[in-house]
């Protein structure tokens, strides 16, 4: 057995071992503990002798990602009901094969030793943990709601995963590989042969980029970058509002390998702004079609982008995912509210105020569709909105950043002319630094804000008598 053990240890090193300074150990009848080697402690680094011990079943070891990157991903199916664990695992493998086009030969399933399973994918290239987690989240969304239990992401720098082929120290069961279509376990010899035959696959199937880290980058990126937690409704991506605004202003992806992240972020952004689903998908596709091809992996197609955009937008809107920070107070200056009051009828003022708030929250250049504008001012009339936009442009409150531009790529894709959403920017003079201002929440409407910054006498100079009597009078203190 000596030669197979050496081969198995070498295979562990090839497929799983990313860092030797931090690892898990499960002692008999105990939970896992984390050991971290440091120059000033007596903890030894993970070594081949320990992997040998693991294979013999005397102790059980687990591994962590290498800080910022990993060469494998584990979907850890955790469920107290073994029958449900089987169902979830089979569903997961089916989704990976049919929706993500991962060949069955690249989907590797092992028994966890208790009541769950580990589903592993191995890669030829090191991949950002951030991107693997984004892929994991996408897959979990595709799997759908689970009757019970969960699918956990492994490994990261803070959450390790047990190596296969050892013994679960609490249950005494061997963690052997299983048939990925039936979940029938292989015997020990066949499980070893299966493991030794595993070949890593290209990382491009799960991400739009691969990472080749220098030693300096490895040192710089010590910790795993945290990404969206799919269990919460307020999506707090790092600088999500700023990134979304930058992407919208630029009109394309601003870094390679970010297609999935940008799609998800813009879906949340669109839901936060009150866009319709179809509008949100169109904005996402416009960004992707405008991005140079070398920002995507080979084989990443517009058809796939569209499918992913629809799926993620539906998920975000169904779960009402929003961007955290989108309700933060913003500063409104007196000259800005006066520009609003000078913008025409009451409806036109309402739309001007909504645009001002949109610009404050999401950037000077912003999308606005007629449907979204109708929601903003509480009308069912498209003509009212179109007339209001025309008036705001004529008065110099806003200007077009882009108007009636044909989306050539999308038009060719669907076989009919499709226009890109219009973009606007505020056109009036910026306020002075020392100008009077107030902090405003999204719950406060135009009238409340105007009364904070202006006297009634000032307001009446910019509001016609019938409008003041019908719209403003009830808000004015007696």
- pLDDT of residue 250 exceeding 50: yes
Helix H segments across 129-177?
129-143
For residue 369, give Cα distances in angstroms to 282, 309, 404, 421. 11, 19, 12, 7
Q: Which residues pair with residue 425 across a beta bridge?
A: 365, 399
Give the per-residue pLDDT at 213. Answer: 40
Give the per-residue pLDDT at 236. Answer: 40
Task: Give the span between the Cα atoms of 87 and 99, in whole angstroms.
Answer: 17
The string of pLDDT tens digits covering residues 181-195 is 999 989 888 999 999
Which of 30-34, 232-236, 417-421 holds the top average pLDDT? 30-34
Task: Give the span between the Cα atoms of 131 and 135, in whole angstroms.
Answer: 6
- pLDDT of residue 210 exceeding 50: no
How confident is the model over 370-376, as a mean pLDDT? 80
Q: Which residues pair with residue 22 across a beta bridge?
A: 36
Mean pLDDT, all residues of the chain:
81
**What H or E segment, with its residue span, contains residue 24?**
strand 22-26
Task: Give the span between the Cα atoms of 106 and 122, in whole angstroms.
Answer: 8
Percent of the chain predicted with pLDDT > 70: 83
Give the per-residue pLDDT at 121. Answer: 96
Handedness of CA 154, 158, 164, 170 (dihedral sign): negative
Q: Look up the pTM and report it.
A: 0.49
- pLDDT of residue 232 exceeding 50: no
Per-residue pLDDT band at 413 (split at 50, 70, 90):
low
Which residues, in sequence order, are CB contacts of 318 under 8 Å at separation 6+?
Answer: none
Q: Are 161 and 118 in contact (CB under 8 A)?
A: yes
- pLDDT of residue 218 exceeding 60: no
Could you tell me which residue, 353 or 80, shows the higher pLDDT?
353
Per-residue pLDDT band at 287 (split at 50, 70, 90):
confident
Could you tell me which residue, 399 or 274, shows the higher pLDDT?
399
Per-residue pLDDT band at 225 (split at 50, 70, 90):
very low
Per-residue pLDDT band at 299 (split at 50, 70, 90):
low
Give the per-residue pLDDT at 241. Answer: 55
The string of pLDDT tens digits covering residues 9-35 is 999 999 999 888 889 998 876 678 898
Give the per-residue pLDDT at 234. Answer: 37
Give the per-residue pLDDT at 258. Answer: 64
The string of pLDDT tens digits covering residues 133-183 is 888 888 888 888 888 888 999 998 888 999 999 998 888 889 999 999 999
The string of pLDDT tens digits covering residues 306-355 is 888 888 888 888 877 776 555 677 889 999 999 999 988 998 999 999 88
Calculate helix-pair angle for 240-250, 277-289, nearest 10 degrees: 60
């Amino acid at each position: 057995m000596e030669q197979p053990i050496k081969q198995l240890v070498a295979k562990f090193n090839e497929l799983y071992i990313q860092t030797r300074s931090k690892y898990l150990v499960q002692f008999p009848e105990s939970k896992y503990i984390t050991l971290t080697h440091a120059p000033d402690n007596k903890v030894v680094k993970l070594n081949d002798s320990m992997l040998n011990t693991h294979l013999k079943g005397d102790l059980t070891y687990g591994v962590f990602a290498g800080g910022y990157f990993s060469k494998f991903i584990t979907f850890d199916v955790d469920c107290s009901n073994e029958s449900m664990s089987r169902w979830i695992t089979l569903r997961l493998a089916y989704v990976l094969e049919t929706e993500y086009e991962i060949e069955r030969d690249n989907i590797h399933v092992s028994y966890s030793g208790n009541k769950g399973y580990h589903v592993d994918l191995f890669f030829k290239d090191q991949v950002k943990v951030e991107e693997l987690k984004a892929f994991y989240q996408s897959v979990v969304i595709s799997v759908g709601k689970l009757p019970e239990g969960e699918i956990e992401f492994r490994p990261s720098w803070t959450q390790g995963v047990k190596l296969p082929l050892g013994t679960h120290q609490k249950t005494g069961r061997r963690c052997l590989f299983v048939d990925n279509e039936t979940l029938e376990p292989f015997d020990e010899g066949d499980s070893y042969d299966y493991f030794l035959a595993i070949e890593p696959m290209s990382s491009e199937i799960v991400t739009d980029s691969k990472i080749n880290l220098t030693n300096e980058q490895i040192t710089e990126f010590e910790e795993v970058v945290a990404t969206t937690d799919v269990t919460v409704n307020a999506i707090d991506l790092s600088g999500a509002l700023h990134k979304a605004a930058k992407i919208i202003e630029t009109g394309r992806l601003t870094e390679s390998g970010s297609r999935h992240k940008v799609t998800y972020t813009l879906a949340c952004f669109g839901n936060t702004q009150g866009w319709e689903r179809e509008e949100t998908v169109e904005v996402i596709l416009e960004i992707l079609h405008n991005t140079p091809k070398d920002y995507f992996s080979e084989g990443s197609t517009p058809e796939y982008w569209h499918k992913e955009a629809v799926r993620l937008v539906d998920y975000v809107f169904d779960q009402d995912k929003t961007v955290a920070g989108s309700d933060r107070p913003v500063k409104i200056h007196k000259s800005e509210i006066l520009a609003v009051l000078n913008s025409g009828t009451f409806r036109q003022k309402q739309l001007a105020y909504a645009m001002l708030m949109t610009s404050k929250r999401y950037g000077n250049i912003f999308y606005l569709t007629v449907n979204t504008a109708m929601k903003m001012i509480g009308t069912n009339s498209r003509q009212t909105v179109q007339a209001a936009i025309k008036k705001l442009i004529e008065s110099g409150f806003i200007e077009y950043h882009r108007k009636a531009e044909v989306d050539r790529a999308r038009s060719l894709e669907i076989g009919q002319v499709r226009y890109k959403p219009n973009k606007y920017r505020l056109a009036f003079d910026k306020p002075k630094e020392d100008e009077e201002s107030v902090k405003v929440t999204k719950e406060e409407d135009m009238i409340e804000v105007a009364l904070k910054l202006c006297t009634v006498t000032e307001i009446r100079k910019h509001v016609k008598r019938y409008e003041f009597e019908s719209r403003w009078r009830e808000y004015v203190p007696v």
